[in-house]
């Protein structure tokens, strides 16, 4: 690669320093901004400005220590979230937050959300890059749920849910729905609108009384309520393979 091509390659791969620190799992973007403002971050021996872009070619230090030495291997967790736990990293203002509930020694982020009244599978990790790739709606990664509602399903309920329902100024993407009982059904989504299933059911005149997520991509719920485990090597290898063609969030 000639020098011109190398420069162009590095420019394309460059990422804002706060985002870079988040994606490598060192800290949140907000914390990175504070570190930069306090002059504790250096790039190639110089104190950067906010918004400075970096790549893996740069020598980045925090408090004089290379970021590569400060990083540990990422952790990837699966949790069976109970009802009542809130998916937020705001540990100061939300006493029932998911971070304190797990009480993991590493700084971790939840991948997406399950609202407070919902339960089931949620992933957590220190790897900001994988969080971005999974969450990007255009990547269409599957999430599977079992849902119970307050009255028997109408004959056309499955068809309407499957074809798309108007909520939040849009129409939901086609999805897979199958009945499980008179008042329950299984649904597989490839998008993640806010309170999507609850809003879809409400539009059709139903109230969700129980919502449980049982799968995210290739990861299935297989631990007791309130328990978490590390992703198995084969699970992580498959999820990384599924994410190879995925794009990050902007």
How many whole angstroms separate alpha carbon 186 and alpha carbon 13? 41
For the chain, how many residues are written? 250
Query: 70 or 196: which carries more pLDDT confidence?
Result: 196
Query: 236 or 212: which carries more pLDDT confidence?
Result: 212
CATH assignment of 142-216?
A: 3.30.70.1560
% the chain with pLDDT above 70: 88
Could you tell me the residue ranges of all domains in the chain? 3-70, 76-137+221-242, 142-216
* Band of pLDDT at residue 188, cut at 50, 70 and 90: very high
Structure token digits, residue 126? 């220190």
Distances (CA, A) of 93 to 86, 89, 100, 118: 11, 9, 12, 20
Query: 197 or 10: which carries more pLDDT confidence?
Result: 197
Active site residue 73: no
Of 56, 115, 129, 156, the active-site residue reads: 115
Question: Chain-wide mean pLDDT for the chain?
Answer: 86
pLDDT for 126: 86
Mean pLDDT computed over 44-63:
88
pLDDT in tens, 5-17: 333 443 446 888 9
pLDDT in tens, 198-210: 999 999 999 999 9
Structure token digits, residue 190? 């490839």
Mean pLDDT computed over 162-167:
96
CATH assignment of 3-70?
A: 3.10.290.10
Q: Are 124 and 107 in contact (CB under 8 A)?
A: no
Q: Which CATH architecture is the domain 76-137+221-242 placed in?
A: 2-Layer Sandwich (3.30)
How many whole angstroms separate alpha carbon 55 and alpha carbon 17? 9
How many whole angstroms separate alpha carbon 22 and alpha carbon 68? 13
Q: Considering only CA atoms, which of 10, 15, 224, 245 is closest in space to residue 120?
A: 224
Whether the domain at 3-70 and the domain at 142-216 fall into the same CATH topology: no
Q: Considering only CA atoms, which of 124, 37, 62 is closest in space to residue 89?
A: 124
Residue 96 has pLDDT above 80, yes or no: yes
Strand partners, 188: 144, 176
How many whole angstroms separate alpha carbon 123 and alpha carbon 77? 6
pLDDT for 12: 43
pLDDT for 78: 97
Mean pLDDT computed over 108-115:
91
Residue 179 has pLDDT above 90, yes or no: yes
Mean pLDDT computed over 167-191:
96
């Amino acid at each position: 690669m000639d020098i011109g091509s190398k420069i162009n390659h590095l420019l394309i791969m460059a990422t804002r320093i706060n985002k870079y620190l988040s994606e490598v799992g060192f800290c949140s973007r907000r914390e990175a901004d504070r570190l930069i403002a306090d002059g504790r971050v250096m790039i190639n021996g110089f104190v950067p400005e906010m918004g400075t872009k970096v790549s893996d070619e740069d020598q980045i230090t925090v408090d004089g220590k290379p970021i590569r030495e400060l990083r540990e291997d990422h952790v990837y967790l699966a949790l069976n979230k109970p009802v009542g736990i809130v998916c937020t990293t705001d540990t100061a203002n939300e006493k029932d937050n998911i971070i304190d509930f797990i009480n993991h020694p590493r700084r971790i982020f939840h991948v997406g959300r399950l609202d407070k009244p919902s339960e089931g599978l949620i992933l957590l990790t220190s790897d900001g890059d994988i969080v971005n790739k999974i969450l990007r709606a255009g990547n269409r990664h599957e999430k599977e749920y079992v849902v119970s509602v307050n009255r028997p399903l109408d004959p056309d309920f499955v068809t309407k849910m499957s074809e798309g329902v108007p909520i939040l100024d849009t129409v939901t993407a086609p999805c897979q729905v199958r009945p499980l009982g008179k008042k329950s059904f299984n649904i597989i989504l490839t998008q993640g609108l806010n309170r999507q299933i609850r809003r879809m059911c409400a539009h059709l005149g139903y109230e969700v009384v129980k919502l449980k997520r049982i799968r995210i991509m290739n990861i299935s719920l297989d631990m007791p309520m309130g328990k978490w485990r590390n992703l198995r090597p084969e699970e992580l290898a498959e999820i990384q393979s599924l994410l190879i063609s995925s794009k990050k969030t902007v």
